[in-house]
Amino acid sequence: MHQRLGSFGFCYAVGFALDAECLFSHDSGHHVFMMNRGFNKFAQLLSGNCLTRISIAWWKWTHNAHHIACNSLDHDPDLQHMPVFAVSARFFNTITSHFYGRPLKFDSLARFLISYQHWTFYPVMCVARVNLYIQTFLLLFSPTRRVPDRALNILGILVFWTWFPLLVSCLPNWPERFMFVLASFAVCSIQHIQFCLNHFAANVYVGAPSGNDWFEKQTGGTLDISCSSWDGLVLLVVCSSSLSTICSQGCQGAN
């Protein structure tokens, strides 16, 4: 019994550590914070691919698109979760994703799943990391997409899928191994839920940002969350953080 409790405690600790590492990986993808670009690339691959099993190449591809067209239903990939979720009734009329280059069909399967999304939201969040792993593999092994540092990204993913299974294999039996993996995924759902709170309830629109309205689209598509100051794992001021991150990145590029 004590051994099992210790295993669960360890898996939650691993989950929280990976959650925190994702925040570091997020910021490293925006900033050049090391002494040169070579060390910065190493830090990105280490924190992203090797430790969180999410390719930094995939993250830059999707996350930069999210910042460019924040909460655009047809341009922001972070709002395109058909057929599982629909964040706007506009998805009920099939929308073409300009990011993925395909229609987001509202078919019978989407109608069924979305009608229960108020029940399935939290269970899906507990295993949402699996989708990120799948998206990582689809990008890295895509024969048509150009991926910067593809070989290094694949190597980093292989590093993770070497040490993590070895860690799990240290547990005495398969039920505990299964619960270890599931619990570590569930802890990481904190970040997914946070993102949904920050963006799903904010203003949405169809089309690409135009003119000088990028700032308005960024602030209108992002909500800050008021909660206890003890909750250190949740980024309370996402809107100002996103703006400062992008602006500082632009200043670095200008220099």
Assign 3-class secondary structure to 20-64: HHHHHHHHHHHCCCCCCHHHHHHHHHHHHHHHHCCCHHHHHHHHH
Instruction: Give the residue among 126, 183, 132 at the shortest CA–CA distance from 4.
Output: 183
The pLDDT, as a whole number, for residue 31 is: 64
Quickly state the pLDDT bin for 64 (edges 50, 70, 90): confident
Mean pLDDT on 20-42: 71
At residue 32, does pLDDT exceed 70?
no
163-213 pLDDT, tens per residue?
Answer: 999 988 988 889 888 888 888 888 888 888 888 888 888 888 898 877 667
Q: What per-residue confidence (pLDDT) applies to 227?
A: 66
Instruction: Summarize pLDDT for 75-110 with one digit per residue, the tens.
Output: 999 999 999 999 999 999 989 999 999 999 999 999
pLDDT 10s digits, 141-165: 999 999 999 999 999 999 999 999 9
Closest CA to 51 of 153, 159, 154, 134: 159
pLDDT over 70 (residue 27) = no
Q: How far apart are CA 115 and CA 91, in angstroms?
A: 13
Q: Residue 237: pLDDT above 70? A: no
Average of per-residue pLDDT across 20-37: 68
Instruction: Provide the pLDDT confidence category of residue 251 given band limits of 50, 70 and 90.
Output: very low
Secondary structure element (H or E) that encloses residue 103, with its range = strand 102-104
Task: Tell me what the mean pLDDT of segment 48-60 comes to.
Answer: 87
pLDDT of residue 255: 43
pLDDT digits (tens, 9 = 90+) for 217-235: 777 777 777 766 655 445 5
Residue spans per domain, the chain: 2-250
CA distance 231 to 134: 30
CB 102 within 8 A of CB 115: no
Helix (H) or strand (E) holding 254: helix 238-254
